[in-house]
Amino acid sequence: MKARLQQDMKEALKSHDKIRLQTIRMVLAAIKNAEIEKMHPLADEEMAAVIQREIKMRKEALEQFARGGREDLVRQTEAEIKVLEDYLPQQLSDSELRKVIRQTISEVGAQSSKEIGKVMAALMPKIRGRADGKKASEMVRELLGAGIS
């Protein structure tokens, strides 16, 4: 994945795609910082986690920019998110995610919303990199709250 990022950075530089270039440089810096922190080269799944963290930060910033009426920053941030999403594995659809959640709820044997933590602990390794944890948590809460398993 890192080699692909570096190759895409060269292509963005040649094609003068400033947003793509800036975003790829930023994610490579974030990956390098994570490698320094962990003191070993990151595997692809760890790089995907770094990219997801960057997307999450941008989505939070996007809300702030929209509230502040900064349309220029909203457009730029949306473009950065699209660039970053290109490097993630195919995301689960809502129906696929719901199916995995129902399966995990039955595996864990959860009956009430008090067991959300147990379900999430079993669920996250299955969906890591393929679905947003916040969205998954909301679905788990909804399914357990409704008593559907």
pTM of the model: 0.73
Domains of the chain plus CATH, in order, are 2-85 (1.10.1510.10), 94-146 (1.10.10.410)
Q: Name the stretches of the chain with pLDDT < 50.
A: 149
Rounded to 10°, the helix 116-127/94-108 angle is 130
Whether the Cβ atoms of residue 50 and residue 42 lie closer than 8 Å to each other: yes
Whether the Cβ atoms of residue 27 and residue 50 lie closer than 8 Å to each other: yes
* pLDDT of amino acid 147: 62
* pLDDT of amino acid 148: 57
